[in-house]
Amino acid sequence: MAEAAVTNRFTSYDQVGIREDLEGVIYDVSPEDTPLYSAAKKLKATNTYHEWQTDTLRSSAVNANVEGFTTEADARVPTNRLGNYTQIFKNACAISGTDSGLRKAGRGDEMAYAVLREAKAQKLDIEKALFANQARAAGSTSAARYLAGLPAWLTTNTSFGANEGADPTGDGTDARTDETTTLLDFTQARFDSVMQSCWENGGKPDTCFLSAFQMNEALGFTGNNNQRNQVSSGKIENYLAVYLTPWGSVTFQPSRENRSRDIFLVQKDMVAVAVLRPTKNEALAKNGDADVRQIITELTLVVNNEAAHGGIFDNTTS
């Protein structure tokens, strides 16, 4: 039974001037991980078209010779010259002059807070570009340059759909062709087959980049060395840390920025990022009652030798 209210009571609903109760912290759980960009070694680019060379040994032979032979030089094949264009990543923020006089919660300086957020977002954009199935483009005075992403380089050690699916040329000039008719399940057999191909061609992949969905598929892999699915110390453990195969050990690294249909086996010392302009935060010319700053990075992807890596493509995603 509700008690009778006091006559002419004055409550908090009637009051004017109650101070707000706003926490001085801003909570943000947006993902910031950039595992490929962070792991790739950093090189210095000195042109918008960055080049490198690859080579391969001839096939082995028994190499038996007649006693007293005469010597002829072995046939030589020139090195392969490859290149990728730098891509410009730009983010900007503008803050009005009035903001400098305001008292804010969760941050002291609005511009500093905005620049930090834009820089974090730009790193995610870079990560997405490195994984993107896009060809390189030289650009022009009216069109942007594009770097060729990782899928555009892989041709030697790949598994993909049998209908429309196809490898690219492998020099960054075209993207790979996606399968559209029949997508394939990500299986341990496909994974092992690509790992074996990498080994046969001299590669030693050490990291597998894959989406959360494909990570769950990998948890179904069998074998004493790789899967952990047990109860210990009152905890249920179900994870895949390192997968040991006859062709090498691979760490599984979930990634949010690669397409879920693509899975990459990467030898980290054979992939790099060539930086023409390191990330820079710079003020733009003042125009009116606002301050404008931009964050600029210019870089490209270097796939030192695509035969060191592998790709499992055209996977189902649901």
pLDDT tens-place string over residues 170-193: 999 999 999 999 999 999 999 999
The answer to whether 152 touches 92, Cβ cutoff 8 Å, is: no
Distance of CA 157 to the CA centre of its chain: 19
Place of tokens 């804010």: 104
Kindly indicate the confidence band of residue 225, based on its pLDDT and cuts at 50, 70 and 90. very low
In the three-class reduction of DSSP (H, G, I as helix; E, B as strand; rest coil), residue 244 is classed as strand
Spans of all domains in the chain = 35-51+81-312
Question: What's the rounded mean pLDDT across residues 214-218?
Answer: 94
What confidence category does residue 1 fall into, taking pLDDT thresholds of 50, 70 and 90?
Answer: low
One-letter amino acid for residue 237 of the chain: E
Are the C-beta atoms of residues 97 and 290 closer than 8 Å to each other? yes
> Which whole number is the average pLDDT over 47-67?
93
Quote the Cα angle for 160-161-166, to 5°.
Answer: 70
Q: Say how many CA atoms lie within 13 Å of 271 toward its Cβ.
A: 29
pLDDT digit string (tens) for 85-112? 999 999 999 988 887 777 777 777 888 8
For 247, other C-beta atoms within 10 Å of its C-beta total 19
> Which of 17-21, 38-42, 182-186, 246-250 bottoms out in mean pLDDT, i.e. has the lowest?
17-21
